[in-house]
Each structure stands twice: as C-alpha cells, then as structure tokens.
Structure 1
C-alpha cells in the first residue's frame, strides 16, 4: 500500500476514534447518565449515615428491578455521604474510572448531600434517582413523565421508584 493510500485510512480511523470519545447527545431519557461497563454492578458504601445507607439500599433495590444485577462489597458503584452547605444539589453521580476507550464507566461514585434532605421519602427518592444515573438514565421532564411517577425527574420527584419507562430505558441502554 502506498503512503497516499494509507493516509486517508488513518484519517478515517482517527475520525471514528474522536467521534467515539465525544459525549453522546442527550436528547432522550436513556443514555444521559453514566454508561455502566456491564449489567453486573457491585455496590459499596463508605461512612454512610443511617439515611444514606437506606438511600443506597433503596437505589440498589431499584436497579435490581431492571436488567442490572447488583451485589454488595465491590467497587463498581461507590456511595458516600457528604455535608455540603450552600449548594443546590442533593446528590451527584460521577464516573471515577472510565474504561480505556472512554465508552463506559468502570467505577461510578454517588455522593449524597446530607445537608439537603431530612425526611425518609426524600432520601429514598434521592437513592433511586442517583442509582438511576448509574444505569445510564438521564433526567425526566414533565413532557415525558406526564403521570409524575418516576424518581428520575430533574426537580424534586414526587415518586421514589423507577417507572416502566425507566426500566425500558435501562434495558435498551445497557
């Protein structure tokens, strides 16, 4: 193969690689969270309050309703409590360790802000919501959650479980 023939192939391969590294479009409910590396996720909590532990257990239980199988004690999903005043977030989900191609997340961290919520219902909702992000779910809007029965609403949710739409989106995205 000549040098001029190889260059377009190299350029095409570079373009494909760059396209795969760019962040996906967030037009739908699915594929707007963290892309888990597989359908088996091990969960571990670190220095959680009683309510943080309850939120973690509830979020894990909600993932179990989907195609994602969970277990205790591993490092795929790491859950922490933090007290952070003067912020507007109650929980955050982030990728701590992307795989080599930046296409899925090997280690996902969840942070519960203990300064934000006080009653059990809010904590359950937050656990469901943040664990939904670990299953690759994004936020729901009123336009695609008209019966207001998903914990994935971007505002304070009135519901603390995944609805069927959420479960279908997890199945389609993992």
Structure 2
C-alpha cells in the first residue's frame, strides 16, 4: 500500500473511531461525578437540623430555577447533616447508586457538615452549592465568575446560581 493510501486509511479510521466515542455536552463546569439520571429529582431529608432543612429547601428551590424539576419523597437526592468534624469540607455530594451502564446516577447523597459555624445565609449558600453538584455542576473558578455571584464558588457564599450555572445545567442534563 502506498503512503498516500495509508494516510487516507489512517484518517478514515481515526474519524470512525472518534464518531464512536460517547458525546458529552460541554456544560462549562461539569462535575464529572454526579450526573443525574433525569431532569426530575425527588428529594428527601433524613433527621435534619433546622439549618440542614434550611439548606435543603434553598438548594431544592435553586434547582427549580433550572430545567430540573423537584418533588418531595426521596429516591433521587438524599440529604443528611451532622458534625463530620474538621475534615476540610462544609458539604459534600456523591453518587451512591449508579445506573447499570455507569452513565448516570440514580441516587445522589448530599451531606452538610455542621462542624464549622455558618450563618443563616451561609447555610442557604451551602444548600445551593451542594444541590448544584446534584445537577452535575462543578466548582467555579474566579476567572469565570468575575462578578462573584455563583454559589458554585467556594468560600464566598453567594446564594444563587447565575446564568452561566443555569445554562450549564441545561446543557448537561
């Protein structure tokens, strides 16, 4: 086979391989860890304190601003709060039950850490932030949140998703 024919075959095989790879929408700051299984998420809190309930309610209301609808009763997002100690995090969201193909999460666990003192506003921001992870949002960097208005930033405590976050949820779910 001559070199030009080998080149044509190599390019064709590369293109065919690339087309076989799964396509993922570019959500801007994809969390790559808690892909929700659909746009309808049922939420349930387990033995929450008043602050944990406040965080959960605010996080749920922020999801409602996006393309994700929520309901009460559980099955999709499970919410807990307790003193998890001085471990470096205020909240944490992770998948506890991946679907059979490992492509999306059926049950996402949200945990709020009571260890460090947080004001009422900070609890709401924490709820917004952790529920953002349930919609597969990752952390925002200062470089792409220059007006400091996204609750997906760390340690600055905004209360809401900004338009960038809402667009990312729409593109990623």
Normalising to structure 1: TM-score of the pair? 0.82
Residue 64 of structure 1 pairs with residue 60 of structure 2 = no
Rounded to whole Å, the distance in 2 between the matches of 1:42 and 1:59 is: 13
Residue 139 of structure 1 pairs with residue 145 of structure 2 = no
1:117 Cα deviation (Å)?
A: 3.2
Corresponding residue for residue 127 of structure 2: 127
Query: Stretches of 4+ moved more than 2 A in 1?
Result: 30-33
Q: RMSD value over aligned CA atoms? A: 2.0
Q: Deviations over 1:33-87 (max 9, x none)?
A: 5100000000000000000000000000000000000000121000001202221
Rounded to whole Å, the distance in 2 between the matches of 1:34 and 1:147 is: 26
Contact 2:27–2:168 (CA under 8 A) maintained in structure 1: no
Contact 1:125–1:161 (CA under 8 A) maintained in structure 2: yes
Corresponding residue for residue 168 of structure 1: 167
Q: Helix, strand or coil for the counterpart of 1:92?
A: strand
Q: Helix, strand or coil for the counterpart of 2:35?
A: coil
Normalising to structure 2: TM-score of the pair? 0.83
1:158 Cα deviation (Å)?
A: 3.5
Corresponding residue for residue 8 of structure 1: none
Q: Helix, strand or coil for the counterpart of 1:130?
A: helix
Q: Mind listing any 5+ residue stretches in structure 2 that lack a counterpart?
A: 1-16
Whose Rg is larger? Answer: 2
Contact 2:34–2:136 (CA under 8 A) maintained in structure 1: yes
Rounded to whole Å, the distance in 2 between the matches of 1:117 and 1:52 is: 13
